[in-house]
Amino acid sequence: MIAKFEEELPLYSLSSSDAARQSELLSYIAKITEGETDMKSRSKTGRKNEGCFDKITVVGAGDLGIACVLAVAAKDVADKVVLLDLSEGAAKGGTMDLEIFAVPNVEISKDFSASADSKVVVLTVNSLGNAQTYLDVIQSNVDLFRGIIPAVSHYSQNAVLLVASHPVEVMAFVSWKLSSFPKSRVIGVGANLDSERFRYILTNLLKTEVLAKDAWVIGEQGEDKVPSWTSCNVAANQTEAVAAHNSREKVANRAMEVLKGKGQRSWSVGLSVADLVDSILKDKRKVHSVSTLAKGCCNINSEVFLSLPCILGSSGVIEMVRLEEDPLVQDKMQSSAGSIHDLQQQLKL
């Protein structure tokens, strides 16, 4: 997991002046926990027609947060997007540019009350520090979330929390615990992007459209992700079944090799987030591979979040899609669950 974190770190870094902005963010969160910010609930009747809008909030104004805002705006997914910039410094970089060029239906705010009545809250903020261990960095994220999650949950009590913060499996678990939301309304971006790329590679590069239809990438982000299928073709006999499985495995391995060469930049993750938000807001009942509570799946007995194919709608995860049984996949899923659970046990919530 440490190697994975170091490899993917640039995607989740703050846009500029990391140390200074981290200090500002910690200062702001400290004020929240001390009760210095206004946490008074607004009356719904006092906001004109706001309840009719498909409103979302993106928390965090780093590269990833801004990419999410632009992707949602470009795809015209929501009626209103609130970008919560939690640093106390003056507007810089992308945040300032959003104000200068007046992106339609986008509001930039430093006040959690601006997020009130959001249907989806996207969490992109991350803590970065110098000379810290992997566990220290994650604990810093947890400390930030202690202030953020209760605040956004207070103002948007029926929202779906969509976690893009790193590592997504752990931070989705933390968000679930801190929000006290039902498990269906806390999801991570997970392997949605990898799954879409995987199926694209199968269909357009390897010309195996039949296989691509039910293909997914599941598990945890990084090198431990694994391909899987939600259904299988019925073979006439065992020999044909073995041959079909071996053929599919070879194709899947080729596709995964191609997939490894594709980096995850902020704009690509932003497009993936917009895709998920669209399915939720429009109640599309579309299947996505997202981080969800995996307890009970693949003989996993611990409370961990892993990417699994799920039907998404306005209330979040409506149903988990049954995977084809594969002992190798189950072993990898159980291994990921074990390492994530061990890490979670070391965190102070």
Residues belonging to the binding site are 60-65, 85, 141
Measured between alpha carbons, how far is 53 from 55 in angstroms, rounded to an integer? 6
Q: What's the Cα-to-Cα distance from 234 to each of 53, 71, 245, rounded to whole Å?
A: 46, 40, 11
Q: What's the Cα-to-Cα distance from 71 to each of 106, 111, 268, 340, rounded to whole Å?
A: 12, 23, 9, 30
Q: Buried (b) or exposed (e) across 230-266, using 16+ Cβ within 10 A?
A: beeeeeeeeeeeeeeeeebeebbeebbeebeeeebeb
Q: What's the Cα-to-Cα distance from 280 to each of 82, 178, 194, 297, 313, rounded to whole Å?
A: 17, 22, 19, 23, 5
Output the six-digit token pair for 254.
């080729």
Contact assessment for residue 328 and residue 336, using Cβ atoms and an 8 Å cutoff: no
User: Residue 145's closest CA among 121, 178, 106?
Assistant: 178
> Binding-site residues for NAD(+), please?
60-65, 85, 141
Q: What's the Cα-to-Cα distance from 120 to each of 214, 285, 314, 326, rounded to whole Å?
A: 27, 16, 9, 34
Measured between alpha carbons, how far is 48 from 52 in angstroms, rounded to an integer? 9
Measured between alpha carbons, how far is 265 from 68 in angstroms, rounded to an integer? 11
Output the six-digit token pair for 167.
């590592």
**Rounded (10°) CA dihedral 46, 47, 49, 55:** -150
Contact assessment for residue 231 and residue 320, using Cβ atoms and an 8 Å cutoff: no
Measured between alpha carbons, how far is 174 from 146 in angstroms, rounded to an integer? 9
> For residue 232, what are the contacts with CB-CB under 8 A and spacing of at least 6?
324
